[in-house]
Amino acid sequence: MSVASPPELDVSLPRATSSTWWHRLIDGIADQAPDAGAQPGARPWRQALLSGGYLWLAGHLLMAVATLFYAMPRGAPGESLDTWPAGASPGGLLERWMWWDTGHYLAIAEHGYGPPIPSESTAFYPLYPLFVRAFDSVLPGDGFVAALVVSSIAAYVMLVLLHRLASYELGEATAHRAGFYLVAFPFAFFLYIGYNESLFMAFALGALYAMRKGQWWVAGVLGAFSSATRSAGVLLAMVLLFEYLRQRRFQPRAIRWDVLSVALVPVGLACFSLYCKWKFDNAFAFSDAQNWWGRKLTLPWESVYSAVRTMNDVRVLHPQNLYNLVDVSFVLIAFAVLVLAVVGPWRLRADQFYLVVYGWASLGLAVLFPVSPPLALTSIPRYLLEIVAIFLVLAKMGQNRAFERFYLMAAIGMQAIWMVLFLNHLWAG
């Protein structure tokens, strides 16, 4: 059974015969249509639900193992293992995941913005705390339990949507690998704890998938939810506009009134801005709050240079150097994979260039707004979770068994280490 490519308008224009990259970008690759790997009688959503389910379970199982490892009794060699770490009770172990940004989200969920919450809290966007507050009103336990439930549900939805998008673009086998590689990624545990990563990715992936199916208004609404969750959500407006024009071969006369759906994407951020104007008499309070966190606009290479330069200020094995080494390494790896997305044997098709646009925009936003030294690239490895193109390219590379084994061993091992660091209240992304 043949499955059609994403809908494109027939504007009665002659197709270009040139093989230049520009015409390939406009026309797409006809002999590699999305969902080409689908089998007759396949039930794609059933496959996505099942794949997302076992990946969701695998991620939570890895978290549980790391938590139990943290709770193991400790003692010196030759002594009885009777020294338990602080908070080794079930409730205490769960609270070991309540560090860093989670505290801000819980405070906003309970009190809203403003006193007694400091003004810098507006750096954290409102949709995730609103979900936490809503779930907290019906769930037993405190707000942290609600935060875990929200993140966990969003993680499952996100994994299902990732499978559908990857399968639509590259087929079932690659989709399975893409989800597996995401769950194995060293910082993937942030998808399940009290952070907004999984909620943001669920909305963003939903918008991208709806966009590729030609459901522009659905894509715009989901994009609006994403921009109310994270500042990076506004990047979807650029991606949707690019893909809209590409499907219409960049011809002005092919544009229809549904192009206005793109304007829905920044509505989420605009609503937050109006709230800040009403609450603080400052429509850009969410932007000004970034100054408190040390973030400021800079040239993209300056943030990387700053991280490398500060590595000379302390001894070689100082924790500061180790953190900077990890951050710089992940930025360079992301850069390399995004290059491979457009050149080489693992490149994406021309009609999938929207993923590359989104990837470069997301990475660019992260390095353009570093924090103050000495850890200028703080949190960027975690933000790489959002760049779908990285995991699709890695999934294509994973057709090589040697690469797949290397990636999974390295990624899962690193994730276990970072989870133990987080459980010990050490910075982990």
In this prediction, residue 20 carries a pLDDT of: 57
The confidence score (pLDDT) of residue 163 equals 97
**Burial class, 61, CB count within 10 angstroms (exposed 0-12 / middle 13-18 / buried 19+):** exposed
Q: Residue 374, preceding bond cis, omega within 30 degrees?
A: yes
Kindly state the greatest CA–CA separation across the chain: 82
**The predicted structure's pLDDT at residue 422:** 92
CA distance 417 to 403: 21
Give the pLDDT confidence of 87-132 residue by residue, as tens digits.
556 667 788 888 889 999 999 999 999 777 777 789 999 999 999 9
> Is 383 within 8 Å of 366 (Cβ atoms)?
yes
Answer yes or no: are the C-beta atoms of 166 and 394 closer than 8 Å: no
Nearest-angstrom CA–CA distance, 210 and 203: 10
Backbone angles phi, psi at 296, to 5 degrees: -150, 155
Spatial distance between the Cα atoms of 66 and 60, rounded to a whole number of angstroms: 10
Predicted pLDDT of residue 237 = 97
Please answer whether residues 124 and 21 qualify as being in contact, where contact means their C-beta atoms are separated by less than 8 angstroms. Answer: no
Helix (H, G, I), strand (E, B) or coil at 275: helix
- Give the pLDDT of the chain (429 residues) as one tens digit per residue: 444 444 444 433 334 444 454 455 545 433 344 554 455 445 889 999 999 999 999 999 999 998 888 777 655 555 555 555 555 566 677 888 888 899 999 999 999 997 777 777 899 999 999 999 999 999 988 899 999 999 999 999 999 999 999 999 999 999 999 999 999 999 999 999 999 999 999 999 999 999 999 999 999 999 999 999 999 999 999 999 999 999 998 898 888 999 999 999 999 999 999 999 999 899 999 988 888 777 888 888 898 888 888 887 777 778 888 899 999 999 999 999 999 999 999 999 999 999 999 999 999 999 999 888 888 888 999 999 999 999 999 999 999 999 999 999 999 999 999 998 998 888 877
Q: Hey, CA dihedral for 171, 213, 241, 253, is it positive or negative?
A: positive
Give the model's pLDDT for residue 32: 41
**pLDDT tens for each residue of 10-44:** 433 334 444 454 455 545 433 344 554 455 445 88
Contact 391, 397 (CB under 8 A): no
Q: Give me the pLDDT at residue 376, please.
A: 86
